Amino acid sequence: MGVVRKQSKGLAVIRSILALLVVAWAVFLIYWGIVTSLKPPAETFTISGISVPVIQFRPTLENWKTELSTRESRFTLTNSIIVAVFATAVAMLLGVPAGYALARFQFRRMKNRDLTVWFLSQRVLPPVVVVIPFFLLMRALKLLDTQLALILLNATFTLPFAVVISRQAFQELPVELEEAAAVDGCSDFAAFVRIAFPLAAPTLVAVAAICVAFTWNEFLFALSLTSLKAKTFPVYLAGAEDTRGVQFWFMATRAMLALGPPTILALLIQRYIVRGLTFGAVKG
Amino acid sequence: MGLKSGRIKYPFILPSMIWVLAFTIFPLIYSFGLSFFRVRLGRPATFVGLNNFARIFSDYKLGNSLRVTLMYVAVTVSIQLALGILIALLFHQEMKGKSIFRALLILPIFCTPVAVGYLGLTIFYEEGGPLNSILMSLFGWKIPWLSSPFWAWVAVLLLDIWQWTPFCFLVILAGLQSLPEEIYDAAYIDSSSEWEIFRKITFPMVQPVVVIVLLLRLIESFKIFDVIYSLTGGGPGTATEVYSLYTYRTGLKFFDFGYASALGYVLLAMVMVVVNLFFRRVRQVYE
Over residues B20-64, the pLDDT tens digits come to: 999 888 888 988 888 888 887 777 778 888 888 888 888 888 889
Structure pTM? 0.90
8 A C-beta contact, residue A209 and residue A85: no
Model confidence band, residue A245 (pLDDT cutoffs 50, 70, 90): low
Q: Does residue B270 sit at the A interface (CB-CB below 8 Å)?
A: no
Contacts B267 to A, Cβ<8 Å: 126, 128-129
The pLDDT of residue B5 is above 80: no
State residue A13's pLDDT score: 85
Helix then strand then coil, in percent of chain A rounded to 5, is 75, 0, 25
Percent of all residues in chain B with a pLDDT value above 70, rounded to a whole number: 97
Candidates A57, A81, A128, A283: best to mutate against B (most CBs of B within 10 A) is A128
A156 to chain B, minimum CA–CA distance in Å? Answer: 6
Percent of all residues in chain A with a pLDDT value above 90, rounded to a whole number: 46
State residue A46's pLDDT score: 67
- Asked which of A17-26, A161-170, A239-248, B274-283 is least confident by mean pLDDT, the reply is A239-248
> Which of A4, A101, A117 is nearest residue B93 as measured by Cβ atoms?
A4
Q: What is the mean pLDDT of chain A?
A: 87
State residue B2's pLDDT score: 47
State residue A157's pLDDT score: 93
The pLDDT of residue B212 is above 70: yes
Inter-chain residue contact B115 with A259, CB threshold 8 Å: yes
Task: Tell me the CA distances in angstroms from B10 to A98, A102, A175, B6, B23, one per residue in order.
Answer: 9, 10, 19, 8, 20
> Which of A50, A156, A238 is nearest residue B114 as measured by Cβ atoms?
A238
B72 to chain A, minimum CA–CA distance in Å? Answer: 16
State residue B152's pLDDT score: 92
* Residue A49: Cβ within 10 Å count: 12
> Which of B107, B212, B268 is nearest residue A26 as measured by Cβ atoms?
B107
Model confidence band, residue B193 (pLDDT cutoffs 50, 70, 90): confident
Q: Does residue A57 sit at the B interface (CB-CB below 8 Å)?
A: no
Model confidence band, residue B233 (pLDDT cutoffs 50, 70, 90): confident
Candidates A4, A29, A165: best to mutate against B (most CBs of B within 10 A) is A29
Cβ within 8 Å of B, A 120-149 = 120, 122-137
Inter-chain residue contact B20 with A124, CB threshold 8 Å: no
